[in-house]
Amino acid sequence: MSRLFMSLSIAFRSLLQHGRRTVFLGLAIAGVTALLTLLNGLSSGIKRTMVHTATTLSTGHLNVGGFFKVTGGQSAPVVTRYKEVLDVVKRAVPEMVFAVARGRGWAKVISDRGSMQAGLGGIDIKDEPAFKDVLQIVAGSIDDLAQPNTVLVFESQLKKLEVKVGDALTVSAQTTRGAANTIDLRVVAIARDVGLLSKWNVFVPSATLRALYQIRPDATGAIHIHLAEKDFDHIPTIAARLRTSLEQAGFRVMDPDAQAFWMKFQTVNREEWTGQKLDVTTWEDELSFMTWTLKLLDGLTALLMVILIAIVITGIMNTMWIAIRERTREIGTLRAIGMQRRGVLSMFMLESLLLGLGSTVSGAVAGALLAAALNAAQIAVPEAVQLFLMSDRLQLSIEGPSLLRSVALITAVAGLAALFPSLRAARLRPVVAMSHFG
């Protein structure tokens, strides 16, 4: 124990002695760690916003959606007799926290002053307490969405629609029978944006959506199943189980296909069956058209890190070589008074590890602080970046485990980089080392 303590104190003193060198190298390592922290924070920030936004607006953690085909060539994103489906879901997914039925639609929304195309979410606000908690209402009351022919819009849509609470909106859509149908709605609530998806979504009562598409009261768009955070990692397993249960209960279930429901029309329309088929999807499936940005960011981060770590390794090795040359006589002396080769090796390794640990920790802390500062600054980002970030503000999310991983990774790299020079130092013979000059 005391041996370790001594080694540590020698390493620490050596670092202090070569203060300038330590500071420079430490700064570089800390900078790289801070960068890694920030980039990871960005990536998980995006993911978090994505899950948060999406599970509020357009998907559950797990969904039972599906298509109803009146004829072979046309399909509607509808689940008929959904209560029966819900019963099966309740039995098959005991992990379920709650489930909601949402209508799905796509329509033209027209106000007196403008118009836009939007995804319609049909919602029973009375059954969805969580929805109320997540949305911040800027004007009006979300509870009014319980009344028929009402609509909730998002702030960013006001630019196009120019409406306020109480104003009228008309929605116009094609029913599955190919006819256009319209309904007049009253704006009852305006909500603050929830990420990019809210640009294209408005919410109406389920009954209104059914009336617009003229579908039966026992039909809905999809059942969104919400799970507790602890179950997030095994969503695919739960999905597979649910699929089997639904099949056993006599429902026809589509093969898994990791795409958003609206990307499946082309395929479904070309298949021969008619009637109802159910489709079990996860939130990642429904957002597959967006998650590629996340993959791109992770790829870029990895690439950048590899390059930077290569540079840092070069720097550490260089420093160690020179330190060993400078301290050859010291090494000789230590060996002469009885230090083992292993001792020399661990002394230099410890030095490097200590430097690595110190600078990674401070780098991680700096990165986390910077991330917090960036979050607090609420930096608005341009539209192209918004698409990438899924949010109109820069949001970083620093997570403990990934922070620890970064620290461990870079410290380990620092240690490894020192391994080769340290081995060389350990191999020095005391006599040669002591007579070394310069």
Partner 1 sequence: MGDAFKMVVLIAFRNLVASRLKTAIVGGIIFFGAALVVVGTSLLDSVVESMSRSIIGSVAGHAQVYSAKSRDELEVMGGFDLEGPDIAPIDDFAKLKAVLMQVPNVKAVVPMGISGAMVTSGNSIDVALAELRGVVRKKIGGDTSAATIAAYDDGKAHVRQMVKVLEGDIENMAQLHDEKTLAPEDAATVRKAAQDEFWVEFDKNPLDSLEFLENRIAPQATDADLLFLRYVGTDPAAFARSFDRMKVADGTAIPPGQRGFLFAKYIYEEQVKLKTARRLDKIKDGLDNRTVTIASDPELQRFVRENHSQVREILLQLDGRKTELFRAKLRQELGSGEADVGKLLSAFLQTTDENFARRYAFFYKELAPALELYRVRIGDTLTIKAFTKSGYVQSVNLKVYGTFDFRGLEKSPLAGALSVMDMVSFRELYGFLTDDKRQELAALKAASGATDVSRDNAEAELFGKKADAVPGRVIEADATPGLDADKALSGLAGRLRRDDLAARVFDPKQLTQGVVLNAAVILENPRLLEKSMADIEAAGAAAGLPLRAISWQKASGLIGQFVLMMRMVLYTAVLIIFVVALVIINNALVMATLERVREIGTLRAVGAQRRFILAMLVIEAMVVGLLFGALGAGAGAAIIAVVGKVGIPAANQIFNFFFSGPRLYPVLGATSLGAALAIVLLVSALSSFYPAWLAMRVTPRQAMQSED
Contact 243, 280 (CB under 8 A): yes
* Residue 223 phi, psi (nearest 5): -100, 120
- Considering only 92-100, 171-179, 221-229, 414-422, which stretch makes contact with partner 1 by CB under 8 A? 171-179
Does 212 contact partner 1 by CB under 8 A? no
- Considering only 88-96, 211-219, 334-342, 397-405, which stretch makes contact with partner 1 by CB under 8 A? 211-219
- Kindly tell me which of 112 and 143 has the beta carbon lying closer to partner 1: 112
Residue 387's alpha-carbon distances to 194, 289, 378, 408, in angstroms, are: 13, 11, 17, 32
- Considering only 55-63, 135-143, 180-188, 371-379, which stretch makes contact with partner 1 by CB under 8 A? 180-188
Report in angstroms how near the CB of residue 269 gets to partner 1 at its nearest.
7
Quote the CA–CA distance of 151 and 170 in Å, as a whole number.
10
DSSP tag of 276: E
Residues 121 to 150 in contact with partner 1, rule: CB under 8 A: none
Please pick, from the candidates 160, 186, 226, 424, the single residue that binds partner 1 as defined by CB under 8 A.
160
Report in angstroms how near the CB of residue 140 gets to partner 1 at its nearest.
21
Instruction: Tell me how many residues contact partner 1 (CB under 8 A).
Output: 82
Please pick, from the candidates 308, 414, 426, 433, the single residue that binds partner 1 as defined by CB under 8 A.
308
Amino acid present at 410 = I
Does 5 contact partner 1 by CB under 8 A? no
Residues 337 to 376 in contact with partner 1, rule: CB under 8 A: none
Does 163 contact partner 1 by CB under 8 A? no
Does 410 contact partner 1 by CB under 8 A? no
Q: Is 127 helix (H, G, I), strand (E, B) or coil?
A: helix
Please pick, from the candidates 133, 229, 233, 272, the single residue that binds partner 1 as defined by CB under 8 A.
272
Contact 224, 47 (CB under 8 A): no
- Considering only 277-285, 305-313, 342-350, 411-419, which stretch makes contact with partner 1 by CB under 8 A? 305-313
Amino acid present at 275 = G
Residue 105 neighbours by CB under 8 Å, 6+ apart:
119, 120, 122, 173, 209, 212, 213, 221
Report in angstroms how near the CB of residue 240 gets to partner 1 at its nearest.
20
Residues 102 to 121 in contact with partner 1, rule: CB under 8 A: 108, 110-117
Contact 146, 125 (CB under 8 A): yes
Residues 369 to 408 in contact with partner 1, rule: CB under 8 A: 382-385, 387-388
Please pick, from the candidates 307, 373, 379, 431, the single residue that binds partner 1 as defined by CB under 8 A.
307
Does 299 contact partner 1 by CB under 8 A? no
Beta strands of 5-92 (E only): which ranges?
62-71, 74-76
Q: Give the number of C-alpha atoms closer than 13 A to the C-alpha of residue 118, restricted to the C-beta side.
A: 33
Where do we find the tokens 């109480």? 166
Report in angstroms how near the CB of residue 149 gets to partner 1 at its nearest.
14
- Kindly tell me which of 114 and 343 has the beta carbon lying closer to partner 1: 114
Q: Is 236 helix (H, G, I), strand (E, B) or coil?
A: helix
DSSP tag of 254: P
Where do we find the tokens 């485990």? 401
Does 435 contact partner 1 by CB under 8 A? no
Does 239 contact partner 1 by CB under 8 A? no
CB atoms within 10 A of CB 427: 10
- Considering only 42-50, 175-183, 336-344, 357-365, which stretch makes contact with partner 1 by CB under 8 A? 175-183
Please pick, from the candidates 6, 180, 336, 373, the single residue that binds partner 1 as defined by CB under 8 A.
180
Contact 121, 134 (CB under 8 A): no
H/E stretch holding 431 reads helix 430-434
- Considering only 143-151, 186-194, 270-278, 348-356, which stretch makes contact with partner 1 by CB under 8 A? 270-278
Residues 39 to 98 in contact with partner 1, rule: CB under 8 A: 68-74, 76, 78, 80
Amino acid present at 41 = G
Does 288 contact partner 1 by CB under 8 A? no
Return the ∠ at Cα 396 (arms to 28 and 25), rounded to 5°: 5
Report in angstroms how near the CB of residue 246 gets to partner 1 at its nearest.
18
- Kindly tell me which of 29 and 142 has the beta carbon lying closer to partner 1: 29
Report in angstroms how near the CB of residue 96 gets to partner 1 at its nearest.
27
Indicate if the alpha-carbon torsion angle 67, 68, 70, 72 is positive or negative. positive
Report in angstroms how near the CB of residue 270 gets to partner 1 at its nearest.
5
Does 430 contact partner 1 by CB under 8 A? no
> Hey, what are 139's tokens?
């004007």
Indicate if the alpha-carbon torsion angle 366, 368, 372, 377 is positive or negative. positive
Does 20 contact partner 1 by CB under 8 A? yes
Does 19 contact partner 1 by CB under 8 A? no
For 297-336, what is the HEC assignment? HHHHHHHHHHHHHHHHHHHHHHHHHHHHHHCHHHHHHHHH
